[in-house]
């Protein structure tokens, strides 16, 4: 037990040291660059990407954004404070190469784990807001991600607050085995207790949301919002095609297809996201 405690402490200390050394720089696009739209290949300046919330001004393609940028876009300025910011993962099963992968992810994103959780105000309305980051090991859900999400839901339940979770994940984190799968049940149970109190839970599904996250809290929202053209699914398209021995339609597992089939409630463009969330909060009596 003492060993485990020391191991955790050493990990947290080294993470804190690396945070102090390097000022966090948003990862999206370096300031001096133009970046072509991955969809229409139109060359767009750094400034324009920022002004347009990382949406292509020509074709409307939504770039993947970091958790911090997502929070910046949803919450009012200087109202967000993070909960459990320093909780980090410890490679308890000594999975080969896991420590290195965590280290690289932490240094490249400036985050301690693949989700940022906290409380902020959305056009003045107080809410718990969590955002996942696909730059951190593809937003995979291990013990810490599940625990941070669960604690945020419990925080919202005890303070009678609505909760909004922006998902972006490749699924469960394979390096943590069964522990990562357990997070699906744990987060779902916490959401049931939140729901039993008559509180509002909204999901914002972003590209990509697959595997264990799509099969748990991503799909449990009272209202499920998705960004345009986001990949949403459990198993990959090729796996399904091989299993059912059929060719699937090209838009299969994209937001528009999921809306048509009734899996999600609405698709909202990024520029309308904050106002739509605000309207929905007011509509449900949240003040
Ligand atoms: Zn474009």
Domain ranges across the chain: 65-283
Q: How far is the CA of 36 from the centre of ligand 1 (A)?
A: 8
220 Cα–ligand 1 center, Å: 32
Q: Ligand 1: distance of its center to the CA of 42 in Å?
A: 6
Burial readout 158-181 (b: 16 or more C-beta within 10 A, e: otherwise):
eeebbbbbbbbbbbbbebbeebbb
Centroid of ligand 1 to alpha carbon of 196 (angstroms): 43
pLDDT of residue 261: 94
Distance (Å) from CA 33 to ligand 1 centroid: 16
Maximum distance among all Cα pairs of the chain, rounded to whole angstroms: 57
Give dist(CA 131, CA 148) in Å, integer: 11
Cα(38) to ligand 1 centroid in Å equals: 7
Question: Can you point out the beta strands (E) in the chain?
Answer: 34-36, 43-45, 81-82, 115-122, 125-132, 163-169, 201-209, 223-226, 266-267
Three-state SS at 202: strand
Distance 41 CA to ligand 1 centre (A): 6
Instruction: Find the 44 Cα to ligand 1 centroid distance in Å.
Output: 9
Segments in the chain below pLDDT 70: 1-2, 4-5, 8-9, 11-12, 14-32
How far does residue 58's CA lie from ligand 1's centre (Å)?
A: 5
Distance 114 CA to ligand 1 centre (A): 27
pLDDT in tens, 241-285: 999 999 998 889 999 999 999 999 999 999 999 999 999 999 998
Task: Look at residue 223 in the predicted model and tell me its pLDDT.
Answer: 98
Q: What local confidence, expressed as pLDDT, does residue 49 receive? A: 92
Are 127 and 121 in contact by the 8 Å Cβ rule? The answer is yes
- Rounded Cα distance between 140 and 168, Å, is 8
How remote is the CA of residue 39 from the centroid of ligand 1, in Å?
5
Task: Say how many Å lie between the CA of residue 3 and the centre of ligand 1.
Answer: 52
pLDDT, residue 23, reads: 46
pLDDT of residue 142: 96
Architecture of domain 65-283: Alpha-Beta Complex (3.90)
Tell me, in angstroms, the distance from the centre of ligand 1 to residue 48's CA.
Answer: 12
Distance 270 CA to ligand 1 centre (A): 14
Contact 202/223 with Cβ under 8 angstroms?
yes
The residue behind tokens 């069964």 is 178
């Amino acid at each position: 037990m003492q060993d485990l405690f020391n191991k955790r402490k050493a990990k947290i200390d080294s993470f804190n040291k690396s945070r102090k050394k390097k000022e966090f720089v948003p990862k999206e696009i370096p300031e001096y660059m133009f970046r072509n739209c991955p969809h229409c290949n139109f060359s767009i300046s750094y400034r324009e990407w920022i002004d347009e919330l990382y949406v292509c001004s020509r074709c409307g393609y939504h770039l993947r954004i970091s958790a911090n940028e997502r929070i910046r876009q949803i919450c009012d300025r200087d109202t967000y404070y993070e909960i459990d910011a320093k909780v980090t993962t410890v490679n308890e099963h000594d999975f080969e190469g896991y420590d290195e992968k965590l280290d690289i992810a932490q240094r490249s994103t400036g985050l301690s784990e693949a989700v940022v959780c906290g409380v902020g105000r959305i056009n003045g309305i107080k809410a718990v807001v969590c955002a996942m980051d696909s730059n951190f090991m593809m937003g995979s859900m291990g013990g810490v991600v599940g625990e941070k999400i669960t604690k945020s839901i419990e925080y919202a339940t005890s303070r009678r607050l609505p909760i909004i979770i922006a998902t972006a994940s490749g699924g469960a984190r394979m390096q943590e085995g069964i522990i990562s799968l357990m997070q699906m049940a744990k987060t779902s149970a916490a959401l049931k207790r939140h729901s039993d109190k008559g509180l509002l839970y909204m999901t914002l599904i972003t590209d990509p949301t697959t595997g264990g996250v799509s099969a748990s809290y991503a799909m449990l929202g009272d209202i499920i919002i998705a960004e345009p053209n986001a990949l949403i699914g459990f198993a990959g398209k090729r796996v399904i095609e091989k299993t059912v021995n059929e060719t699937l339609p090209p838009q299969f597992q994209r937001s528009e297809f999921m809306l048509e089939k009734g899996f999600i409630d609405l698709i909202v463009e990024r520029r309308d996201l904050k106002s739509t969330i605000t309207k929905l909060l007011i509509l449900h009596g949240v003040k």
